[in-house]
């Protein structure tokens, strides 16, 4: 039997500020191949290239990865602000459509960081561009040096930084076998108001939403705010998430 195929959304990028390309972080691809046991297949986050219906005829699951760009505020009824750039309007259109289509067709969907935010917006939720500006919230952004530059050591950048309390008896607590986990944190934007079908399953110690599922989804439909793709080969929490997603993708492939 063939491996399940998992679509991985691309991000708009420019080489030398003039050559447009689509990129996907290699850790996402390795997590899918090495832990989920699937074949990763990048698809373009470009609406005039990507036919969502045709894509879902081919893949057995979809991963919405993290990305530097924020979801554009007009997608949830707010005005854009240059302080919160960059944006990736092309990816927004594809990701929101893919989120809705995956749930409608029962295609397993796993959202990571920006992917969780996209899932929320796709179902009518809102985001805050800088969670750290809300009262009582911590700075969830990646660690920086005293001079303001990003910390050069990935072991520091992706280190576990805060706890997440999981809903007892929920999908995450059942899957992970515990009600408290510790995760990394590399985001500025985050969920402000959950969408209509968004079930909050995990919350950081400062109240930031960290884990969600889509209500009444016929298949795997989970999102996490942390970067689970960084270390699922060695991190037992992230390994269980990717393994469960891979199992769901394999079941979807068998059902074809």
Residues assigned a catalytic role: 113, 227, 229
Phi, psi of 127 (to 5 degrees): -125, 155
- Enter the tokens of residue 191: 């969920």
* Cα gap 211→225, rounded to integer Å: 6
Question: What's the sign of the alpha-carbon dihedral 170, 137, 228, 196?
Answer: positive
Q: Which residue has the tokens 């007009």?
A: 74
* Cα gap 55→62, rounded to integer Å: 10
- Enter the tokens of residue 11: 């991000």
H helices present in the chain, as ranges: 26-30, 52-58, 89-105, 114-122, 154-157, 171-176, 236-255
Q: Angle formed by the axes of helices 89-105 and 114-122, to 10°? A: 70
8-state DSSP, 72: P
- Enter the tokens of residue 60: 């057995």
Which DSSP string corresponds to 126-170? EEES-GGGSTT----SPPB-TTSPBPS-HHHHTS--EEEEEPTTS
* Cα gap 33→38, rounded to integer Å: 5
């Amino acid at each position: 039997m063939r491996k399940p195929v998992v679509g991985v959304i691309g991000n708009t990028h420019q080489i030398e500020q003039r050559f447009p390309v689509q990129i996907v972080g290699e850790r996402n691809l390795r997590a899918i191949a090495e832990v989920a046991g699937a074949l990763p297949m990048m698809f373009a986050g470009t609406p005039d290239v990507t036919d969502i219906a045709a894509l879902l005829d081919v893949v057995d699951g979809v991963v919405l990865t993290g990305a530097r760009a924020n979801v554009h505020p007009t997608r949830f009824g707010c005005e854009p602000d240059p302080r919160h750039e960059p944006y990736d309007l092309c990816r927004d259109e594809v990701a929101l459509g893919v989120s809705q289509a995956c749930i409608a067709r029962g295609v397993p969907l796993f959202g990571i960081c920006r992917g969780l935010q996209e899932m929320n917006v796709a179902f009518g939720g809102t985001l805050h561009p800088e969670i750290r500006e809300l009262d009582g919230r911590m700075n969830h952004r990646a660690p920086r040096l005293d001079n303001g530059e990003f910390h050069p050591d990935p072991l520091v950048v992706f280190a576990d930084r805060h706890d997440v309390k999981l809903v007892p008896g929920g999908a995450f607590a059942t899957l992970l076998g515990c009600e408290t986990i510790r995760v990394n944190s590399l985001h500025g934007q985050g969920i402000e108001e959950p969408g209509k079908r968004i079930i909050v399953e995990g919350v950081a110690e400062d109240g930031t939403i960290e884990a969600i599922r889509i209500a009444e989804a016929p298949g795997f439909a989970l999102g996490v705010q942390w970067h689970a793709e960084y270390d699922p080969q060695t991190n037992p929490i992230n390994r269980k998430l990717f393994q469960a997603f891979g199992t769901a993708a394999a079941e979807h492939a068998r059902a074809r």
